[in-house]
Amino acid sequence: MSEEKFIHRYLPGAGPGPTLLLLHGTGGNENDLLPVGKIIAPGMSIISPRGNVLERGMNRYFRRLAEGVFDLEDLQFRTHELADWIAEAAARYGFDAGNVWAVGLSNGANIAAAMAFLRPGVLRGAVLFHPMVPLEPEPAPDLTGFPVFIGAGQVDPMSPPQETKRLADLLKAYGADVSIHWTPGGHALTNTEVQAAREWLSAAGRLGFAR
């Protein structure tokens, strides 16, 4: 690549298999979720890009107009930009572009959900921590069998439970296989959620490793 589209980290795995796409929350960077990725899918390759949008000095993956109000035009542009970059990164590093699983937190979870909606087939599955509904796509995508884990807080002020349920209902309406793990907390990512995501991935052998 002649020009780097995303500042990122790439950690090769122990062998062939899935690659985790780690997508940080607002104010995070390409290093934030590396420990999470190593816990939920040990030994797997990791690609972790930094969001290209700055909001009051904080990294994000797309713009918003206000708290909880997304710039839908920018969201769509940034989603396609990220999806295209995944294919470029796969060619650069030699991982399987058809076996990429997203692990996103908050803003990162939202763009991962948007990618599932707008570019079905780019992701093999997704772990979404504290997501919202990014947009309602037209036309409706076919996500038959697409596995999704959602980690959510019952008193989350940023991603309220009703938003989590609405996203889950949308995903299910498009055919996705959705599991929700509720915690009694708020918007912060907890170890309980991380371990639940690991259990979800390993129990069904989704990434090819056992507990």
Flag whether pLDDT at 206 surpasses 80.
no
Flag whether pLDDT at 202 surpasses 90.
no
Break the chain into its structural domains and give their ranges. 8-203
Question: Which residues are CB-neighbours of 137 under 8 A, at least 6 positions away?
Answer: 117, 118
| Active site residue ranges | 106, 156, 187
Segment 135-170, tens digit of pLDDT: 999 999 999 999 999 999 999 999 999 999 999 999
- Quickly state the pLDDT bin for 1 (edges 50, 70, 90): very low
Give the per-residue pLDDT at 211. Answer: 34
Give the per-residue pLDDT at 194. Answer: 98
Q: Which two tokens stand for residue 152?
A: 């959510």
8 A C-beta contact, residue 27 and residue 58:
yes
Residue-by-residue DSSP string for 88-122: HHHHHHT--TTSEEEEEETHHHHHHHHHHHHSTTS
8 A C-beta contact, residue 45 and residue 13:
yes
**Cα 93 to chain center, whole Å?**
20
Across 12-40, average pLDDT? 95
Going by C-alpha positions, the residue among 32, 204, 23 that lies closest to residue 100 is 23
- Quickly state the pLDDT bin for 209 (edges 50, 70, 90): very low
| Whether the predicted model's global pTM rises above the 0.85 cut | yes
Give the per-residue pLDDT at 205. Answer: 63
Quick one: fold of 8-203? Rossmann fold (3.40.50)
